[in-house]
Structure 1
Amino acid sequence: VDGFAQANILLLIMKELEKHKPEEFKNDPIDELVHTFIPHVEVVTTPDLEEVIAQVLAGQTALVVEQGSKVVLIDSREYPIRSPQEPDIERVVRGPRDGFVETIVFNLALIRRRVRDRSLVMEYVQVGKRSKTDVALVYIDSIADMENVKWLREKLEDISIDGVSMGEKTIEEFVFGRNYNPYPLVRYTERADTSSVHLMEGHILIVVDGSPSVMICPATFWHHLQHAEEYRQKPLVGAFLRFARFIAVTASLFLLPLWYTYATNEQLLSERWKFIGVKDHGELALIWQFLIAEIGIEILRMAAIHTPNALATALGIVSAIIIGDVAVQVGIFTHEVVLYVAVSAIGTFATPSYELSLANRIFRVFLLIMVAILQVPGLLIGITLWILLLVTTRTMNIPYLYPFIPFNPLDFKLVLLRSPVPYSNMRGHMLNPQDRTRQEDE
């Protein structure tokens, strides 16, 4: 296939074959070609014509010999690639800058570079009748729960679709279902070090060709709150960063609904806390101010994604002027609404998992609407429904809120604190690892 084959390799093979005459092949010409006359490493033979067609469409070169019983497949592919670079949404102050790319071979090489264990297994599955997308199931077979591996393998093999157009997201929807639950059941990462750490804990990776994002399975609510930066700093600093992130995520969910509840029910505030109430309700009802602000921030986020980097600064300045100043002056927003919406937005952007931040944003709007309709009971009902959703959600038969619900003190300590690595001797119970010992006690 033009664009895939490396011309220099094919020219070298052709020059070598031109040196020989047909009478030199004494026995099976195919075997002699492969073992003697083709100067290349990645060469296989197959009698299956369908496999030949599939491999040629995937970029390999087929060598057909007259009167031969097999076809020689030469892997001389060279994919169009970009060089590994640091992911935009998982930046760290210290740490490696090599992120995943769109080529599955290079992504698996980045993982293998960090996990040089003979137990590291990479199983390939082709998904899509027409696209024939390569999907790799990656795990350490001496650590990972093989029941989970079997379940994922069967789910991947059962996918029946023409093509995997949206890559890893299509795979996720087929494998995990629950498509109307906004909370993510897998964690996405573009960092090779993050993927490798999760492999060592007993997680399973799904790597899809054509995507720089790797799926980490399974992933609970707490996995989406972890960030590589916590493990690049001292344990105390890492614990502080994690605690600050928990506060930010909590604020992104509950700050606006709580303030709205107190603003519309000022009798709930003592005299000492009256200052957090509304000084001026503005021209619009508070609920409409919140909804307009939420939609406006989402539009600005989408605009920032589609804006070239050179214009992103100008977009931020214009947004600050329009939302922060002009909108207040004309009476669309009050100062308090701008403040609390901004703090909630910062908490949303501080959430390590982009998918979790979107789910939390949806439930924040849901809580605001519940408060607008039912006041204080609406807030309590909304929070109760949110907790029930998380409690009843399971990812690969693991409770989504584990180890908080059901409570496991040892595993919960791992979630809450960033323990020093020399004292982290055992793996957690959640993934049911075959080998729970991370390091031997001295």
Structure 2
Amino acid sequence: MNKQKQAKKKPTISSDLKDNQRFMEEKVGVGTSFDVGFRQLTILKKEIQLYYLTGLCETPTIVELLKKLTDINETYPASAGRNKHKLTEIIGSHLVHQQVTKVSTMDEAVDQMLSGLIVIFMEDESEAFIVDVRTYPGRSPEEPDTEKVVRGSRDGFTENIIENTALTRRRIRDERLRHEMIKVGERSKTDICISYLQDVADHGLVKLIKDELKHIEIDGLSMADKTIEEFLVKQGFNPFPLVRYTERPDVASTHLLEGHVLIMVDTSPSMIITPTTYFHHVQHAEEYRQSPAIGTFVRWVRFLGIFSSVFLLPFWLILVMEPDHLPAILQFIGPNEEGNVPVVLQLIIADIGIEFLRMAAIHTPTPLSTAMGLIAAVLIGQIAIDVGLFSAEVILYVSICAIGSFATPSYELSIANKLSRMLLIIITSIFGVKGMVIGFTIYILALSLTKSLNTPYLWPFIPFNAKALQQIIFRVSVPLTKDRPSIVHPRNNYKQPTGKH
């Protein structure tokens, strides 16, 4: 299908403005769509036409452009007849905007106009000027809600791809930083930016991502980055996240310097980081804003929370089902009274109840969220214990697991771990200790067999890399971190100048 599209001849810009106007009326809806602007002017006794989208161009900028063009008649009044053949050069010299290009096909002109640029057609000319004056509506950069830090920058990516590239450029002022733009979507024509360091990133990975993006055939990217992810990594029913998302420019810049490739999608504040492993999803920027000792402590606590969110409930269920395995000092573990509902059902119902609360918190207006939390904690929790639906210990351990899930930096990983936990609970309740061992083995095998863009998901644990694993377990001081991760296959392995080695 792509070859057929390429083989199809694209209509060229006509030197007759009436033909161009007719095309724009049929193709874009000039005169029908209220947000498509059109102006026709006479410059040096020749007609020119301007097309633009009113919502993506600021009115003062358009007025300034029109004034610059009409001033040409006053600048060249006496020699208007002699300068008609130089109209293109004269108009080009009066377009003092930051970026002015030329196009020769109508499809290019339409695509640029729909992206927020101004198209200028000229009489007796088979090319058109494209003037970049776009201003996308959106919010100002602010700290992401899901990646807050005690110390550090408070800016964050927005839905504006131009601002996002600028936030990255501000942190990496390197001439080798590349931002390559690709349009995806037959109707949406969404801008997608591939960002990488030319002398660091693996060119094979860059080519792979470009090829995958160029072969996407879809009407539009309404869900933006998530749609791109599904085309890129072909995840299927694997619940574990195969790419990492971030809304923090400092995190994105750090990964660029390591040799990763970033994908920015217009209308989305989340950057896609590729390739990633399981351990990319369990690190947080806060660890690098503290001293190595404090950062290591915070990391270990987070690891403990993530581990508890997956394995605490199945392990506790085993101890409840087979109390003989408990040493004398831990005989207090387990419900003191038999409940009206089997323990395994209590765990599953309580776990699903926590998910209900999470969903409700997302859809509940902020002023009401506190009241909702009180209702959940006091009324639902306590009354459920009083009526015998839940035991107190079930509420305790489910709450600990929920806190561990909330401590997981990656939202996608926390949901995947929740699903894994529920499956482990079911298998453990059916097969006992053997079921838990089998479930744990399947969990590790599933992770070890997973690959993200040909990258082993459990690296550096499987395949084993002692030096890289040490940097996962400990927050190593930056001056001691001289090498880039080998898993991204960087063209330049050293983070610091080679003269210092």
Smaller-chain TM-score bracket: over 0.9
**Residue in structure 2 matched with residue 31 of structure 1 by the alignment:** 89
2:72 is the alignment partner of 1:14: no
TM-score (norm 2): 0.86
Instruction: Please point out which of 227, 231, 238 is paired with 2:288.
Output: 231
Q: What letter matches 2:419 in structure 1?
A: I
Partner of 2:207: 150
Q: Secondary structure at the match of 2:437?
A: helix
Matched residue type, 2:267 = G
Task: Point out where structure 1 has 5 or more consecutive residues left out of the alignment.
Answer: none
Deviations along 1:243-290, one digit per CA (max 9) or x if unpaired, are: 111100000000000000110111111222211122123110111111
Q: What is the rounded CA distance, in whole Å, between the counterparts of 1:117 and 1:267 in structure 2?
A: 64
The alignment partner of 2:486 has SS state of coil
Please tell me whether residue 166 in structure 1 is matched to residue 223 in structure 2: yes
Aligned length: 441
Stretch of structure 1 that moved more, 313-322 or 86-95: 313-322
SS, match of residue 188 in structure 1:
strand
Matches within 5 A, 1:278-289: 278-289=335-346
In structure 2, what is the equivalent of residue 435 of structure 1?
492
Which letter maps to 1:352? P
Q: Distance in 2 between matches of 1:18 and 1:431?
A: 55
Cα distance in 2 between the residues matched to 1:135 and 1:315 = 39
Instruction: Determine the structure 2 residue equivalent to 1:387.
Output: 444
Aligned to 1:211: 268
Instruction: Pick the structure with greater CA Rg.
Output: 2
SS state of the match for residue 121, structure 1?
strand
- Of 67-76 and 235-244, more deviation after overlay is shown by 67-76
How far is 1:16 from its partner? Answer: 2.1
Deviation sequence 1:99-149 (CA, Å, 0-9, x none): 110010001110110011111011111110000000001000111111111
TM-score in terms of structure 1 length = 0.98
2:476 equivalent to 1:424: no
Determine what percentage of the aligned residue pairs are the same residue: 45
Query: 1:26 offset after TM fit, Å?
Result: 4.8
| CA RMSD, 1 decimal | 1.2
* Letter paired with 1:139: Y
Higher mean C-alpha deviation, range 23-32 or range 12-21: 23-32
**Residue 135 of structure 2 corresponds to residue 135 of structure 1:** no
- Summarize the alignment of residues 3-82 of structure 1 with structure 2, pairs less than 5 Å apart: 3-21=55-73, 22-23=80-81, 25-34=83-92, 36-82=93-139
Q: Contact conserved, 1:252 with 1:344, CA < 8 A, in 2? A: yes
Q: Counterparts of 2:264 and 2:163 in 1: how far apart (Å)?
A: 11
SS of the counterpart of 1:341? helix
What residue is the counterpart of 2:254 in the other structure? 197
Report how far residue 19 of structure 1 moved: 2.5
Q: What's the secondary structure of 1:313's corresponding residue?
A: helix
Q: How far apart are residue 403 of structure 1 and its match?
A: 0.5
> 5+ unaligned residues in a row in structure 2: which ranges?
1-52, 74-79
Alignment match, 2:24 = none
The alpha-carbon deviation at position 321 of structure 1 amounts to 0.9
Structure 1 residues 119 and 281 mapped into 2: Cα distance closer, same or farther (>3 Å)?
farther
Q: Pick the aligned partner of 2:396 from 339, 360, 363.
A: 339
CA displacement at 1:322 relative to structure 2? 2.6
CA deviations over 1:222-244 (Å, ceiling 9, x no partner): 00011000000011000000111
* Structure 2 match to 1:348: 405
Conserved? CA contact 1:30–1:70, under 8 Å: no
Task: Single out whichever of 314-323 and 11-20 deviates more from structure 2.
Answer: 11-20
Give matches, 1:338-377, under 5 Å.
Answer: 338-377=395-434
Partner Cα distance (1:219, 1:16) in 2 = 50
